[in-house]
A and B are shown apart, each in its own frame.
Chain A
Amino acid sequence: MNTQSHQAYWKRNLQYLAILLLIWFAVSYGAGILFAEQLNQFTLGGFPLGFWFAQQGAIYVFVILIFIYVRLMNKLDVEFGVDEK
């Protein structure tokens, strides 16, 4: 493959990473730590919300994030013709 499309592929990859890692940060450090106290004033299914993010929600989001990444990258690989045969 040529360098130009190679660079475009890498750039798209970095964009995906930026978005996914932003969500990763927001649910764990954001909702689970930095803003947990404020969120605890709301409840979700019997949980104070900040506490729920810290001990349950963030972990669910982590799992989902990886599987979204897998899907996005598999598609991107095909689009740029760099998938494995």
Chain B
Amino acid sequence: MGVKEWSFLIVGLTFLLYILVAIWARAGSTKEFYVAGGGVHPILNGMATAADWMSAASFLSMAGLISFMGFDGSQYLLGWTGGYVLLALLLAPYLRKFGKFTVPDFIGDRYYSQTARIVAVLCALFVSFTYVVGQMKGVGVAFSKFLGVDFGTGVIIGVAIVFFYAVLGGMKGITYTQVAQYCVLIFAFTVPAIFISIQMVGNPIPQIGMGGNLEDGTALLTKLNQLSVELGFHEYTSANKPMIDLFCVTAALMLGTAGLPHVIVRFFTVPKVRDARKSAGWALLFIAILYTTAPAVAAFARTNLITTVDNIEYDKVPTWFNSWEETGLLEFEDKNGDGRIQYYNDANEDFVNTVAAANNWKGSELKIDRDIMVLANPEIANLPAWVIALVVAGGLAAALSTAAGLLLVISSSISHDLLKKWLRPNITEKQELRAARIAIAVAVLIAGYAGYNPPDYVAAIVAFAFGLAASSFFPAIILGIFDKRMNMQGAVLGMVIGIVFTASYIIYFKFGAGVGHPEQYWFGISPEGIGTIGMFLNLIIAMIVSRMTSAPPLAVQQLIEEIRIPRGSSKASIH
């Protein structure tokens, strides 16, 4: 059987598994629909959170990004894991004790304000929707590249699957399918990494193998540094961009992670406060397995790529090179007509004027899509066809599990936060459940449509999702728990100013007059990192304003006292 047949078989089997799990875990009440009945075991919730969190981008693109960025890629590794420490220590246990369904629920109750609730709902909707479009696009890409199905059909198949288990099962169906999806994706990511590590450095653990020696006795990372410098790139293991930007981007990703509604809501699904703490630990452990393997994959793939293609005759490239050329992810153009591949950093002027000029090189002749670093790995390592098929199924599992979690936030924001808590407070539970199902169905369809016609700015907009979560939700929730004196005026003003500041900066540099002018960045901070400054701005303004206005009502102060101690928690309630 070839790669395509294996892919159909494995993808088909995994989809069947998700559907069976979904039928087994149907939701019968709003509580099951929103928070899986509040009875999910902490380890299973940890797995579901990990699958929820790791998107198509984590699975397919991150290792490739690091591979090209080297040390600077650490911002993603640290940023997307360190946030869980904040979640576990500062948010999850208290929000679990609070015991409602959604993040806007907390903001609305804690700041005794419908305005605060609505600001929170709008942020949650915007952040989640931005994200889900990217996932749907990822599903379409995976189908079209590997299964020979056209892009649109791929998106429709993805929509149909998510529609089925999200509408039927709500959070309960989503949680248990995510557990299955986690197993598929982590297996698919680690197996090729282990084989490559054995081939290159003779160590079956990629995390350790990354520091190992190649056959000729030089350390892999030393060799990689040498190769990089020889081709005009910066050293792989040292920073290339300003430290302040590295710092701010890492912080914005961490704070954003801790403020993303689809991550926070996962901690409402466990039975107790102590389970919420533990669950965050398990989630990070499961995430860390992928996040510590990814940099190893990045370093292996980079070394492999350079040594395989550097200045060799085009006629002698290995077969995987040709097969990836066909997908368009790898492009070779013989600019100086010598029949050999020259790959180097043609943005480095010094290098171009010296080494490249001396050798008659006319520009780097290879265009490499970063996704190839994960996708081509099994082929480069000569692994059997079924392993490649597994990677396809893993990518789909990552995209679908994240999409489902986000869709649930969208649906509960509409049916619970907007309808039940604002527009139609008198609807019965049955009606609310129906509204939730309709909302998720409509959201799936819209997301599918947007994924089919993705707006060009999807990638740019991701900076938004994290920036906004960091500058709005994170400080509002933290202050709500740790500062008893924080009141509605401080929190709302802080959120609004944090969002406006962050959004203006991002819009200016991503869509406005600042596009292509990184020299105008304030202190060298890129739009991806500005959420950190927005967070501090929010924090300071909230503190000052709250001290100048009246203390929150007594009932709210009692609520804070209550969420600070674990005893007396009940399963997430309907109020």
Contact = CB atoms under 8 A, between A and B. Distances in A.
Q: Is B a genuine binding partner of A?
A: yes
Interface of A: 1, 6, 9-10, 13, 17, 20-21, 24, 28-29, 32-34, 36-37, 40, 44-48, 50-52, 54-56, 58-60, 62-63, 65-67, 69-70, 73-74, 77, 81-85
Contacts of A51: 71, 74, 221, 237-238
A-side binding surface: helix, strand, loop or mixed?
Answer: helix
Contacts of B237: 40, 47-48, 50-51
Contacts of B220: 46
A37 to B, nearest CB: 7
B77 A54 contact: yes
Interface residues of B, number: 51
Contacts of B514: none
Contacts of A69: 88-89, 277, 281
B74 A55 contact: yes
A84 B569 contact: yes
B278 to A, nearest CB: 5
Contacts of B85: 20-21, 24, 62, 65-66
14 contacts: A17-B90, A28-B250, A37-B239, A40-B238, A46-B210, A46-B221, A59-B288, A62-B284, A63-B284, A69-B89, A70-B88, A74-B274, A77-B274, A77-B567
B393 to A, nearest CB: 26
Contact of A9 (B207, B251, B565): B565
Given A28-B82, A66-B84, A84-B274, A60 B292 contact: yes
B561 A66 contact: no
Interface stretch (B211-219, B436-444, B541-549): B211-219
A56 B277 contact: no
B247 interface: yes
A76 B77 CA distance: 32
A61 B66 CA distance: 21
A47 B565 contact: no
A58 B238 contact: no
Contact of B81 (A6, A59, A81): A59
Interface of B: 66, 71, 73-74, 77-78, 81-82, 84-85, 88-90, 93, 207-208, 210-213, 219-221, 237-239, 243, 246-247, 250-251, 272-274, 277-278, 280-281, 284-285, 288, 291-292, 295, 561, 564-569
A47 B210 contact: yes
A59 B77 contact: yes
Contacts of A48: 221, 237-238
Contacts of B90: 17
Interface hub of A20, A21, A32 (most chain B Cβ within 10 A): A32
B211 A46 contact: yes
Nearest to B209: A46
Interface centre among B85, B251, B285, B568 (most CB of A within 10 A): B85
B565 A6 contact: yes
Contacts, number: 142
Contacts of A47: 210-211, 221, 237
Contacts of A9: 565
A83 B273 CA distance: 9
Contacts of A33: 74, 78, 239, 243, 246-247, 250
A82 B243 CA distance: 44
A36 B71 contact: yes
A37 B250 contact: no
Nearest to A51: B237
B247 A60 contact: no
A18 to B, nearest CB: 10
B277 A70 contact: yes
- The listed residue with most B CB atoms (<10 A of its CB), out of A32, A47, A62, A81, is A62
Given A6-B565, A55-B295, A84 B273 contact: yes
A59 B291 contact: yes
A26 B278 CA distance: 23
B89 A1 contact: no
B237 to A, nearest CB: 4
A1 B564 CA distance: 13
B235 to A, nearest CB: 9
A24 B273 CA distance: 22
Contact of A63 (B66, B213, B288): B288
Contacts of B281: 63, 66-67, 69-70
Most chain B CB within 10 A, of A32, A54, A82, is at: A54
A29 B213 contact: no
B178 to A, nearest CB: 20
Contacts of B566: 77, 82-84
Given A24-B82, A37-B238, A56 B292 contact: yes
Contacts of B295: 55-56
Contacts of A83: 274, 566-567
Contacts of B93: 73
A54 B238 contact: no
Query: Which of A9, A13, A29 has the most C-beta atoms of chain B within 10 angstroms of its own C-beta?
Result: A29
A19 B251 CA distance: 19
A1 B565 CA distance: 10
Contacts of A85: 567
Given A28-B82, A45-B211, A55-B74, A84 B238 contact: no
